[in-house]
Structure 1
């Protein structure tokens, strides 16, 4: 986690230096913007049953590359297609436990004093697609931007970890997670600082994950900051 924070701050610092060095410099009129991105988010769960509650601080870290493709003469309107990596955690009271039969069962931890940690973690390879509007010019690297789009994610690794009265339980690649996850994105900001929102359209678990016969139809919402750099 420390290395991820250092990478984000390095990108922020480099972006600031780049902006200072390019002001007043004439650049190619066929310029493009924002090839690399790094972000940090606070992760929430939506659509949760009333009994599922979050606890602690749930975070997400996001890195990637986006190919910018302007399609108007002013080059301030563009499409962006990219490839990225996302690591996410969700601290909550949904216990994932493996039965002797090898199947996974799900239950609610109602007594917070019975455990010190209970979380799920997910690592995804992502394909972002953005419609991009900005106030950039060939000689201005600080500008307003509004990027909206869609993000498709493929789950490459995930874990469920519990530390409490039941002992230490840790399961990797629980087969009831949705392998393909997707949602809507929105990034708004000026210069280095940009607010970012991801709203999942797909659930975290598939229909085989149930509590008392009802599907666990929880989805992710991620709110935070994203930084762009050429």
Structure 2
């Protein structure tokens, strides 16, 4: 009887061991949807310019995961997404006779520049996850390229409100990114390496050289 039990259980134990070894060595992919919310800073203000109100950003997209090692703790992430960014300041854009001019005005109620972008993030990813563990620490760093598909300037005062599509922006944008956190909730930062405007826009004889810095939260969803 003992011989029969041994004959039955021994192959099962080898099968279980092989299954566990296969599971441990199997590659896995952290393909993820992401959603982000940020506060947008503008760096390199011209003289007299400052930010006002709540400048915010929204982003969403999908990142494809490409593992670099067997354990899956290192990978490359390539993605695509959409973003909306708003910047509030005392810089006022005016459109007259197809020409855009800029001035600094502290007496307005609100002045906003809003951009709509298609984004392409490229990340080097480190995490301490496994194929069976979905809650883990992560550090993702890389570069994000973007193309501005539309931009709108708007200002509101006590007596008037005006808005128009702004063509003075640099269409192609790129910058450095960093995400750090645990599980779904992560801190996220983006520092632009390109100016927001294309170099032709000036205020009081000074070229506008705004560079965005965005800091906020990003949520990764499997």
Normalised-by-shorter TM-score class: 0.7 to 0.9
In structure 2, what is the Cα distance between the partners aligned to 1:97 and 1:54? 18
> Contact between 2:68 and 2:75, CA under 8 Å: does it hold in 1?
yes
- In structure 2, the residue matched to 1:154 is 147
- In structure 2, the residue matched to 1:137 is 130
CA deviations 1:155-176 (Å, max 9, x no partner) are 011100011146111011x221
- Unpaired runs of 5+ residues, structure 1, are 1-25
Answering whether residue 43 of structure 2 is matched by residue 58 of structure 1, we say no
SS of residue paired to 2:109: strand
> Contact between 1:182 and 1:200, CA under 8 Å: does it hold in 2?
yes
Q: Which moved more, 1:117-126 or 1:156-165?
A: 156-165
In structure 2, what is the Cα distance between the partners aligned to 1:141 and 1:28? 17
- Please point out which of 192, 207, 213 is paired with 1:215: 207
CA deviations 1:146-204 (Å, max 9, x no partner) are 000000000011100011146111011x2211111111000000011100000001111
SS of residue paired to 1:98: strand
Q: Tell me how far 1:211 sits from its aligned partner.
A: 1.3
- In structure 2, the residue matched to 1:21 is none
> Contact between 2:88 and 2:112, CA under 8 Å: does it hold in 1?
yes
TM-score (norm. length: structure 1): 0.83
Answering whether residue 101 of structure 2 is matched by residue 109 of structure 1, we say no
Computed over aligned residues only, the root mean square deviation of the Cα atoms, in angstroms, reads 1.5
In structure 1, what is the Cα distance between the partners aligned to 2:142 and 2:25? 27
In structure 2, what is the Cα distance between the partners aligned to 1:154 and 1:166? 35
- Unpaired runs of 5+ residues, structure 2, are 1-22
- In structure 2, the residue matched to 1:181 is 173
Structure number with larger C-alpha Rg: 2
* Runs of 4+ residues over 4 Å off in structure 1: none
Q: Tell me how far 1:29 sits from its aligned partner.
A: 2.5
- In structure 2, the residue matched to 1:16 is none
Write the mapping of 1:29-48 to structure 2, written as runs, cut at 5 A.
29-48=26-45
Number of equivalences: 200
